[in-house]
Structure 1
Amino acid sequence: MKARCIAACVSLAVAVSPFSALVAQVSPTPPPVRTQHAMVVSIHHLATDAGVEVLKQGGNAVDAAVAVAFALAVVYPVAGNIGGGGFMLIRPGHKHGSKKLGDGKPHFIDYREEAPAAALRDMYLDKDGNVIKGMSTHGYHASGVPGTVAGMAYAEAHFGKLGLKAVMQPAIRLARDGFTASSVELALWQTKVLMDNPEGHRIYQRDGNFYQPGELIKLTDLAATLERISNNPDDFYKGSIADAIAADMAAHNGNITKADLAAYKVKDRVPLEGKYHGYKFMTAPPPSSGGIVLQEVLNILTGYDLKKLGADRSPGQVHIITEAYRRAFMDRADYLGDPDFTTMPLKQMADMKYAKAWRKTIDPAKPTASKDLIRPAGFMPEPPKQTDKHESTQTTHFSVVDADGNAVSNTYTLNFYFGSGVVIKDAGIVMNDEMDDFTSKVGVPNGFGLIQGPNNSIAPYKRPLSAMTPTIVTKSGKVRLVLGSPGGPTIITTVANDMISVLDNGLNIQEAADAPRFHHQYLPDELQVEKKFPAAAADALKASGYVIKRSGEFDEKNPGVWGDSELIAVDPKTGELLGGHDTRKPYGKADGY
C-alpha cells in the first residue's frame, strides 16, 4: 500500500505538476539576474555593491570576496563578521589571455576558529558531568579564536590584485559614514543575547532606543577597527586590537588571551574533488564535514536516474535523496573531526564501491529507521568508542565570479545570531560562539540537534567540526555553478538540493535557490521540511513511514524556512553569468556588470 502511494504520487508529479507550476503555486520566482562579465551574489545588497565596486576597479574575484566579507561585518552583523571564521574556496579561471590567479591551482582557505589554550574537554560540564546550559553559546566562555581577519588577509595577499587597504574601503566607508537597514533586518538586532552585554546593547540597540528603518546607522568603533586592520592586519592578532580583545576577555574571566591570538594560523588546504553525472565538483575538506558528506551523498545518488523517479521535490525523488542523507550523516557523526588532531577514513567514505554497498541497503519504497541502519561491512574502520550517546544557522554565504572566470565560494559564521553576544569594548567586534560546535559531551546534541562523536571533542588549538560547504561545479574545465548556504547541518543538504535541482532536474539558478527545502541528518530520525514544502508530497512520504517535521508548522507568523542559497551559474554556450539570490532574505542581491 505504501509503495503504491509513493508510485501514484510520483506518477501524479510527472503527469500533472511539473516543478515550474509548483513554484508558481508556492511563491512567484523572479528570473535570474544576468550579466556578461562578472557577478556577486550575497545576502545583503550593500555587501554585493561593495564587491561589484571592487570588480569595476579592476579587482579579481578574491578582491571582491574580501570586500564583501568585510562589508557584511558592518551591514549584516548577525552573521557577517571579523570575530568569527569560515572557509574560502578559490577556483582559478582559465580564460585565454587572462592573468594566472596565484599558482593556478584551486585552494581551500581554512580560517575556522580555534579553541584557546585554556579549553578543556569537559569545560562545559558541571560537577555531575551534565552539560551546563548556555555556557557554550553565550558569554565570554563561548568563543573560539577568530580567524576571519587572518583568512581575508591571507587570501588578499596570495590571490588578490588591489591590496587589503583598497578592498576594505567600502566596508570602512559604510561603518564610518553610515547605512540604513530595513525593518526585517533590524528586528534581528533586538535579540536578548545583546541585551545581556553592555557594549552590544549600547552599539546595536542604543541602550533600548532601537534603530528604526531608514535611520542612518554609524558604527564608529568598528570603523576605527577596520581602518587599523586595513593598515596592518597583524594588529588584530598581535597589536592594539589584540590588546583590546584580551583585556575584555580577562575582565570577564573569558578564555581567549593575546597569546592565543598571536598563535592563530590560516590553513591553506587542498579542496576535496568528486564527480557527479558528468560534472566535476570541488568542495570543503575537514574540518568541515560538509564536503565529504556531500561527496558521499552524491556518490550514492549516482546510481539513480532521479528524473525517472518524478519531478523536483516529488516523493519518489525525496525518498531516495533522504536515504542518501541518512547514511552519509551517520558516517559524519561517527568519524569526523579536525584533520590536525584526528585520522579520518575520508578515502573510504568517498569510495564508489562503498556508495554502491550503501545503495543496496536502500528500500525503493520505504525509509530505513535510523536505529536499524547497519553500515556495510568491509569498508570502514570501527568508529571511536562512544561512552554515552553531542552547528549553526547564523552563518552567511556569498559567491563571486570575475571577468577572467575566477570563482570564489565563501561561507563564514558567528554560529548563532550575533554569536556569543559579546561585543569587544571600544572595538565593535562581535565575537563568535563557535565552541558549541565541539562535542561538549559525547552523545549529547549540540545547539542544532547534531549528535557528534569523540573525534570532535574539545582540545586546545583544535578547530570544531563544521557543516559549511562552499562548492564549485565545473564541466569541461569551465565553471558551471558556484554554491553555498548557511544553516548548520542543513547547509550540506541545501547545497546538495541545489545541485540536484539544477544538474538533474533542469531548474534555473533562481528556481533552485527558492525551491522548498528538505533535510535529514540521521538523528533525530525525522524528515524536516520547510513550511512551503508541497503538502501532497509530505503526506505521501509520511504514509510511506517517514516522521515529517514541518518547520514553523504551528506558528502562523513563522515563515518556516532555513538556509540562504546565494548561487551563480555560467551559461556553457554564451558564458553569460546567471545569479540566483535566495528570496527568503529580501535584503540580498545578485549583481555585476
Structure 2
Amino acid sequence: MTLTDIRSTHVSRNLSLTKPAARSPRGIVTAQNRHAAQIGADILAQGGSAVDAAVATSFALGVLEPWMSGIGGVGGILVRPEGGEVTAIDAGAVSPAALDPDDFPVVEGKDGDLFGWPNVLEDRNVIGAKSVCIPGLLRGLEAAHARFGRLPWADLVAPAVALAREGLMVDAHVTAWAAQEMGRIRRNEAMAAWFLPDGLPPVAPAAVAGKVARLANPALAETLAVIAREGADALYHGAIAEGLAHDIQALGGYLSSHDLAGFKAEVTPAASEPYRDRALHFVPVLNGGVTVALALRHLNKTPAADCLTSARALAKAWEHRFTQMGDGAERSLPSCTTHFSVVDAEGMCVSMTQTLLSLFGSAVVSPSTGILLNNGVNWFDPRQGRINCIAPATKALANYAPMMMTGAGETVAIGGSGGRKILPAIYQALIHLVDRGMSLEEAIAAPRYDLSAPPVLVADARLGQEVITTLSGEFDVVMTDREIQPNSFTTLGAVRRVENPMKEGPVNEGMAEPWHLWADAVVEGEALMPMQGDLT
C-alpha cells in the first residue's frame, strides 16, 4: 500500500504532554472540561450518586463547551451500580416526522464535514435548520436521574444556570473554535450574536488587565432556569417546546412540537460481548459501541493483539457498519462530541457521551430559547436507497460510543469525542488494558492509529517506524504528529474501579486525555486552584 508523512514542521521534536491519573477511594469525575468535572465532583461531595454527578456535569458542559454538546443535542449513557447489571439509556438522534428526503438532493463533490458524504444542495444535511434532529439528551438525563439519582433535580441543574447567567469565559480555546467555524457561525444571526461579538472571534484580554471576556446568552440561562424548576419535561411540552419548534420552522427546518412531545429515551439492559476474561458493555443499537465490540469479537479469535492484527479486525467491523447498520436493518452485533465518566465512592460507574454531532452542530441557535441545535441529519447517508439513508421519523446511526468493561476485579467506564475517530481510540485503549496490561494512565496516553476511513490509516508517529512500516504493507498509511488541533486521534477519558483485596478497600482511578488542555480528572472533595475569572 502507501506511506505518506504529513507530520507538522511546526511541532517541536521534543514536545511531549503528560497528565497523571487521579487515584482515590473517593469518587472521581473525568471530563473534557476541568470546571465541569469539578462541578460533578462537588455533587459527589454533597452526597450525590455517580448519576447525580453525571447530570450536573452534563448540564455544565453544555454551557462551558457549547460547540460540542448541550440540551439541543443527543447522547448515550451507561450506568452500573456496584456489583450490579449495566443499564443503557439511549437518547440518540431521531429525524423529525415531517422531514422530506427530496429536500436533500445530492450534487457534485463531497462535503467537507466529518463523514465525507456526497455533497447535498446548500449543505442542508450539515448546516442550518433542515439538519436538526429531535434533541433527546434531556430525556436521557431524566431517565438516568429517575432510576439512579439521589439529590433533587434542581440542585443538579443549578450550577449550569449560574454559569449561563455569568456567560462563557473566553480563552484561547474559545477563540480558536469560534475562528475555525466563523464561516458557519455567521450564517445564523443568533449564533453570530453569541459567538462573534462585533462580528469577529472573541479574544481574551491579557491577564495583567485583571479582566475577563464573556459570551452572554441570557435566553439560554432563562431556559435552563425553567428546566431546573420544572424538570426535563419543560423542553418537550409547553412554552419552551413551542418556541423552539417555531424558531426552527421559521428558518426552514422540520422540528415540531409533536416531535418533541413524542420523544422518549430508550432504557434497556446494556448489550454485552466477551473479550478475553472480560465483558464489554455498550448501548445496544445504532452507535459506535456496536462496532467497537464487533472489532474486539474478531480480535478475540486471535491470540495476539499487535497493531496489524488489531487493524485488520477493526477494518472488518467497519465493513459491517457501512453495509449493514441502519434503522430498520440489523441494529446490533451480528449473533466535534463530549464524553465524561464518573465513579462514586460506593462503586457506581457512569459512562456518558453527549453531542451536537458536528462542531457547533447545525450552527443554528433558537432565539427564543438560546438553545444551540444538533445537526443529526448529517449522520444519515444522503444517497437514497442505501442503508441508513435520510428519512423521516428515523433513528440515526451515531458514532458516539460510551462503553464499560467488567471482569478481573475491575470496572472501566470509557469513551471519547471526535466523530468516527472515537471508535478506533476506545478499541485500542481497551486492548492496551486487557492484552498489554497497561495502567489506565498508560492506555489513554499511548500512541494510537486511527482507522475510521479504511483503507486509510492515520498513524501517530510515536508508534515507531517498524510498526508504521508493517501497517503500510496493508493500509494506506498517513503518518502525523499527535497535536492539540487538529486532533487526529480523538479525546479519550475514563474512570476505573479496582478491587483491592490486599488493602482496605477498592480504589478509583480517573484519566483524562493528555492532549486536550481543558480535560481533567477531579476527585470528590478535591479543591483545585480557581480558573481565571473565578475570583472576579
- TM (norm. structure 1) is 0.78
Moved more, 35-44 or 247-256: 247-256
2:73–2:356 Cα contact (<8 Å) kept = yes
Rounded to whole Å, the distance in 1 between the matches of 2:485 and 2:422 is 20
Deviation of the 1:400 alpha carbon: 0.4
Q: Count the aligned residue pairs.
A: 490
Counterpart pick for 1:459 among 376, 379, 391: 391
Aligned-partner residue type, residue 88 of structure 1: I
Distance 1:333 1:174, change over 3 A: same
| Offset from partner CA, 1:329-388 (integer Å, 9 cap, x none) | 1111111123xx33457343xxxxxxxxxxxxxxxxxxxxxxxxxxxxxxxxxxxxxxxx
- Is 1:512 the counterpart of 2:443? The answer is yes
1:34–1:579 Cα contact (<8 Å) kept = yes
- Is 1:170 the counterpart of 2:168? The answer is no
Higher strand share: 2
2:130–2:253 Cα contact (<8 Å) kept = yes
Match of 1:415 in 2: 357
- Is 1:537 the counterpart of 2:517? The answer is no
Deviation of the 1:455 alpha carbon: 3.2
Deviation of the 1:557 alpha carbon: 9.5
Distance 1:465 1:127, change over 3 A: closer
Match of 2:380 in 1: 438
- Is 1:107 the counterpart of 2:94? The answer is no
Distance 1:78 1:531, change over 3 A: farther
Distance 1:130 1:77, change over 3 A: closer
Deviation of the 1:559 alpha carbon: 5.0
1:84–1:413 Cα contact (<8 Å) kept = yes
Rounded to whole Å, the distance in 1 between the matches of 2:17 and 2:57 is 28
For the residue of structure 1 that corresponds to 2:499, the secondary structure is: coil
Match of 1:73 in 2: 62
Rounded to whole Å, the distance in 2 between the matches of 1:497 and 1:122 is 40
For the residue of structure 2 that corresponds to 1:282, the secondary structure is: strand
Rounded to whole Å, the distance in 2 between the matches of 1:219 and 1:560 is 28
Deviation of the 1:264 alpha carbon: 1.2
Spell out the pairing of 1:251-262 with structure 2 (5 A cutoff): 251-262=250-261
Rounded to whole Å, the distance in 1 between the matches of 2:302 and 2:401 is 23
For the residue of structure 2 that corresponds to 1:247, the secondary structure is: helix
Rounded to whole Å, the distance in 2 between the matches of 1:140 and 1:319 is 43
| Offset from partner CA, 1:138-192 (integer Å, 9 cap, x none) | 1111110100122112221222111211111111111113453431233102322
1:88–1:109 Cα contact (<8 Å) kept = yes
Rounded to whole Å, the distance in 2 between the matches of 1:180 and 1:131 is 35
Match of 2:291 in 1: 293
Distance 1:126 1:140, change over 3 A: same
| Offset from partner CA, 1:213-232 (integer Å, 9 cap, x none) | 34244432211110111122
- Is 1:550 the counterpart of 2:479? The answer is yes
* Alignment RMSD: 2.5
Rounded to whole Å, the distance in 2 between the matches of 1:60 and 1:493 is 31
Match of 2:103 in 1: 123
For the residue of structure 2 that corresponds to 1:455, the secondary structure is: coil
Aligned-partner residue type, residue 157 of structure 2: M
Match of 1:424 in 2: 366
- Is 1:49 the counterpart of 2:38? The answer is yes
1:92–1:407 Cα contact (<8 Å) kept = yes
Match of 1:342 in 2: 329
Rounded to whole Å, the distance in 1 between the matches of 2:119 and 2:162 is 47
2:51–2:145 Cα contact (<8 Å) kept = yes
For the residue of structure 1 that corresponds to 2:219, the secondary structure is: helix
Rounded to whole Å, the distance in 1 between the matches of 2:215 and 2:106 is 42
2:37–2:521 Cα contact (<8 Å) kept = yes
Moved more, 453-462 or 577-586: 453-462
Deviation of the 1:210 alpha carbon: 3.6
Rounded to whole Å, the distance in 2 between the matches of 1:122 and 1:517 is 41
Percent identical pairs in the alignment equals 28
Moved more, 56-65 or 523-532: 523-532
Deviation of the 1:303 alpha carbon: 3.0
1:90–1:408 Cα contact (<8 Å) kept = yes
- Is 1:188 the counterpart of 2:177? The answer is yes
Match of 1:240 in 2: 239
Distance 1:508 1:418, change over 3 A: same
Rounded to whole Å, the distance in 2 between the matches of 1:292 and 1:49 is 31
1:150–1:266 Cα contact (<8 Å) kept = yes
Distance 1:89 1:205, change over 3 A: same
Rounded to whole Å, the distance in 1 between the matches of 2:234 and 2:391 is 26
Rounded to whole Å, the distance in 1 between the matches of 2:107 and 2:455 is 31
Deviation of the 1:418 alpha carbon: 0.6
Deviation of the 1:531 alpha carbon: 5.4
Deviation of the 1:536 alpha carbon: 4.2
For the residue of structure 1 that corresponds to 2:359, the secondary structure is: coil
Deviation of the 1:532 alpha carbon: 4.7
For the residue of structure 1 that corresponds to 2:130, the secondary structure is: coil
For the residue of structure 2 that corresponds to 1:463, the secondary structure is: coil
Rounded to whole Å, the distance in 1 between the matches of 2:333 and 2:360 is 33
Spell out the pairing of 1:17-56 with structure 2 (5 A cutoff): 27-56=16-45
Moved more, 32-41 or 455-464: 455-464
Rounded to whole Å, the distance in 1 between the matches of 2:24 and 2:167 is 29
For the residue of structure 1 that corresponds to 2:323, the secondary structure is: helix
| Offset from partner CA, 1:264-283 (integer Å, 9 cap, x none) | 11111221101112111211
Rounded to whole Å, the distance in 2 between the matches of 1:144 and 1:344 is 19
Q: Which has the larger radius of gyration?
A: 1
For the residue of structure 1 that corresponds to 2:307, the secondary structure is: helix
Match of 1:482 in 2: 413
Match of 2:458 in 1: 528
Rounded to whole Å, the distance in 1 between the matches of 2:518 and 2:19 is 15
Deviation of the 1:487 alpha carbon: 1.9
Match of 1:275 in 2: 274
Deviation of the 1:541 alpha carbon: 2.5
Deviation of the 1:125 alpha carbon: 1.0
Aligned-partner residue type, residue 224 of structure 1: E
1:179–1:217 Cα contact (<8 Å) kept = yes
1:193–1:421 Cα contact (<8 Å) kept = yes
Match of 2:511 in 1: 580
Rounded to whole Å, the distance in 2 between the matches of 1:473 and 1:25 is 35
- Consecutive unaligned residues of structure 1, counting only runs of 5 or more, are 3-23, 95-103, 308-316, 349-393, 443-452
Deviation of the 1:328 alpha carbon: 1.0
1:84–1:148 Cα contact (<8 Å) kept = yes
Rounded to whole Å, the distance in 2 between the matches of 1:145 and 1:558 is 30
Distance 1:507 1:134, change over 3 A: same
1:32–1:508 Cα contact (<8 Å) kept = no
Match of 1:212 in 2: 203
